[in-house]
Structure 1
Amino acid sequence: MTELPPELPPGPIPGPAAWRAADLSPADWLHALSPAEVAEIEAAARALAARDLDLAGVTAGDFPLPAFGRRLAAIHRDEVLEGRGFAVLRGLDPERLSRRENAAAFLGIGAHLGAFRPQNAAGHILGHVKDLGRSPDDPTARLYQTHERQTYHTDSCDVVGLYCLKPARAGGRSSLVSSVTLHNEMRARAPDLAAALFAPIETDRRGEAAPGEQPWFTIPVFNWHAGHFAGKYQRQYIESARRFAEVPPLTDAQRAALDLMDALAENPALHLEIDFLPGDIQLVNNHVLFHDRTAFEDWPEPERRRHLLRLWLAPLQAQPLPEVFAERFGTVTPGARGGVTVPPERWIASLEA
């Protein structure tokens, strides 16, 4: 059976997600919470945390936001899903809440945006981004468990949310680049290399394959489906997938295309760097953005070390995806896709890393 050529966009992809750094200012993406909104979130968090409830099962109904909920929904829809692809909420103070109350606040806000998806083979729907001393060279380690730079990548979900409990002593900045802009730039400079990234490529699951799954998945870096662009990328995991005998070496064209894309992402004219302040909540659309984290130096005191909470979310309003994404997302049905394959009865919202 002859393999069909990949579907390609008809030309450069327009729209608000095709941004460059100079196109944006903090006034565009930073949303300061009012004292009334902070009070509403804190009250809902304290009430939820006080209940004898498994936080893994939190719903929007468990976390009423009668005033802020409308603004939150608009930011998520207009900016994250249909706009530039990201937004930052600022104004919460994690020091005013207990560990369980902070988890309740983040999970409660997330429940208004989409369904939770498991982030690892342990079924964690509340992730902890902190340095656990893992080596980036360990093929079973995830890069968020180290203090090293992550490099530009996507997570295996529609939207990733990060809530900063404690920032690093130095470094650890969030960096965002439009994968739509990377496509457009590559198409203008080297259309043959841009086209090469629409072909399937193997990516390592890093030891988190479920029974019956291969230890890698095969999804193109660039995808075009039903008038929507979707990127899927993690260079280190593409490289480490070559450790399996069944996975062929990268071709010269694939390596040249990935090298060009990485070089473009490193261009300060294209990417945007953002400091995490305590209480910041960042929402990122994985289909139109690649995100990165710079290396960081942590505090010596354990109680001060960098610590972010993370959610992988599946919004009902998310864009259509090609069927190939089911290999990693389980399904392409909005609201039920993404994450690591773990039975729902094993999902947990651990308060510790």
Structure 2
Amino acid sequence: MGAVRMSPEVSTRPVTGPSVWTAADFESGEPYVRHLTGAELNALDEDATVHADLIAELVDRLENGIGYAVLRGLPLGTRYTPEQASRIHRTIAEHIGEIVPQSRKGDLVRVLEDAHHPAQRGGTYASKAGAPFHTDPTDVVSYLCLSPALSGGARVVASAATVYNALLREHPEWLDLVHREYATDWEGEQPDGEPGWSPRPIFSVAGGVLTCSLATKRIISAMRFEDVPRLGAEEMTCLMYLDSLLRRPGTAVHVNLRVGDMEFVGNHTVIHSRTGFVDDPSDPGHQRRLRRLWINRGAEGRPLVPALRRWRAGLS
């Protein structure tokens, strides 16, 4: 069997509260969007400070709300250059937590764009094809939209709690499977001295709080290592079922980021992906470029099981 070992606690109760949502909950608008005020922009201009109320609201949305927020209203291209907007993005992120490395080389920032760009390295994020649903191994991932694609490239987000509740209703016999730890491929980004995979549970409970860490593609690809147990038929069926839940009509929300938008995703409660995209080779304003940060909330973040806690500080 492909699981490494059991998590010490299994949740058998449906999740309730604002972290449980579907696309239907956002039909009347974009409640995840928080618009920057003129006073907040002036403060950033004058002394590079961020209003405490703004940070408190973002943190509350991430920790106690839907787990997702888009900060809109940064006038990139008129009031701010890409470099100035990037500094503002970093300043806001630093007030949420610690910016941590996204690679074994210690990269604190990654710019996501077409893989043909000479500065771009490999990986799903560097492909024009759609990305699989997944969570990143730190507390919060944040993106600044420097420019959108000509078409496509929508961010796709779904509630992990909604997926878990569906599992409880439809396949409670798989609760044991999703709480086990599975070898998860680092795809070459493992820290020095670590194997090419790490054991992580898909769902886990710490401090009475349910957390999700899902990366189906990486769980399957980890079997390329000889020391990783093979996935059994039931485990594969369960993984495909979870992926199908995310793709059911009405589960996930598609978000088209605008120039200057800053997106914040709570990795422990929101599963994300993106659609494929097409760039305009003759127009830099329609060539998809996102600036990505990983943020560690540390002791102020939610409690995590040891297998997840060790990675919230990023890679290096």
Same fold, TM exceeding 0.5?
yes
Q: How far apart, in 2, do the equivalents of 1:141 and 1:197 lie? A: 30
Show CA shifts across 1:23-72 (max 9, x none). Answer: 2343421112223323333445xxxxxxxxxxxxxxxxxx312xxx2232
Q: Aligned runs of 1:250-269 on 2, under 5 Å?
A: 250-269=231-250
Q: Which runs of 5+ in 1 are unaligned?
A: 45-62, 135-139, 330-336, 343-353
Is residue 15 of structure 2 the alignment partner of residue 13 of structure 1?
Answer: yes
Q: How far apart, in 2, do the equivalents of 1:195 and 1:167 lie? A: 41
Is residue 70 of structure 2 the alignment partner of residue 76 of structure 1?
Answer: no
Show CA shifts across 1:218-244 (max 9, x none). Answer: 111111111111111212211211111
Q: Which residue pairs with 1:88 in the alignment? A: 70
The structure 2 residue matched to 1:159, chosen from 121, 127, 140, is 140
Partners of 2:202 and 2:214 within 8 A in 1: yes
Alignment RMSD, CA only?
1.9
Is residue 314 of structure 2 the alignment partner of residue 339 of structure 1?
Answer: yes
Partners of 1:169 and 1:297 within 8 A in 2: yes
Which of 22-31 and 89-98 deviates more? 22-31
Q: Which residue pairs with 2:179 in the alignment? A: 198
Q: How far apart, in 2, do the equivalents of 1:26 and 1:141 lie? A: 36
Q: How far apart, in 1, do the equivalents of 2:252 and 2:190 lie? A: 32
Q: Which residue pairs with 2:203 in the alignment? A: 222
Q: How far apart, in 2, do the equivalents of 1:89 and 1:267 lie? A: 27
Would the alpha carbon gap of residues 43 and 143 (structure 1) be closer, same or farther in structure 2, given more than 3 Å must change? farther
- Give the count of matched residue pairs: 305
User: AA paired with 1:159?
Assistant: V
* Runs of 4 or more consecutive aligned structure 1 residues displaced over 6 Å after TM superposition: none
User: AA paired with 1:218?
Assistant: P
Show CA shifts across 1:127-154 (max 9, x none). Answer: 21112249xxxxx942111111112100
**Identity in percent:** 30
Q: How far apart, in 2, do the equivalents of 1:296 and 1:152 lie? A: 16
Q: Which residue pairs with 2:33 in the alignment? A: 30
Q: Which residue pairs with 1:126 in the alignment? A: 109
Local SS of the residue matching 1:76:
helix
Would the alpha carbon gap of residues 233 and 180 (structure 1) be closer, same or farther in structure 2, given more than 3 Å must change? same
Q: How far apart, in 2, do the equivalents of 1:206 and 1:6 lie? A: 28
Q: Aligned runs of 1:1-353 on 2, under 5 Å?
A: 6-24=8-26, 25-44=28-47, 63-65=48-50, 69-96=51-78, 97-133=80-116, 141-301=122-282, 303-304=284-285, 305-316=287-298, 317-326=300-309, 329=311, 337-340=312-315, 342=316
Q: How far apart, in 1, do the equivalents of 2:210 and 2:43 lie? A: 36
User: AA paired with 1:38?
Assistant: L
User: AA paired with 2:125?
Assistant: Y
Deviation of residue 302 (structure 1)? 6.6
Would the alpha carbon gap of residues 35 and 170 (structure 1) be closer, same or farther in structure 2, given more than 3 Å must change? same
Partners of 1:154 and 1:233 within 8 A in 2: yes
Partners of 2:6 and 2:180 within 8 A in 1: no
Q: How far apart, in 2, do the equivalents of 1:4 and 1:95 lie? A: 51
Partners of 1:176 and 1:271 within 8 A in 2: yes
User: AA paired with 2:114?
Assistant: D
Q: How far apart, in 2, do the equivalents of 1:5 and 1:38 lie? A: 45
Would the alpha carbon gap of residues 4 and 257 (structure 1) be closer, same or farther in structure 2, given more than 3 Å must change? closer
Would the alpha carbon gap of residues 141 and 245 (structure 1) be closer, same or farther in structure 2, given more than 3 Å must change? farther
Report which structure shows greater RCO (CA 8 Å, sep ≥6).
2
Partners of 1:167 and 1:278 within 8 A in 2: yes
User: AA paired with 1:254?
Assistant: E
Deviation of residue 5 (structure 1)? 6.0
Q: How far apart, in 2, do the equivalents of 1:5 and 1:152 lie? A: 23
Question: Which structure has the highest strand share of the two?
Answer: 2
Deviation of residue 98 (structure 1)? 2.7
Would the alpha carbon gap of residues 142 and 42 (structure 1) be closer, same or farther in structure 2, given more than 3 Å must change? farther
User: AA paired with 1:21?
Assistant: A
Deviation of residue 290 (structure 1)? 0.3
Q: How far apart, in 2, do the equivalents of 1:4 and 1:243 lie? A: 22
Q: How far apart, in 2, do the equivalents of 1:87 and 1:209 lie? A: 29
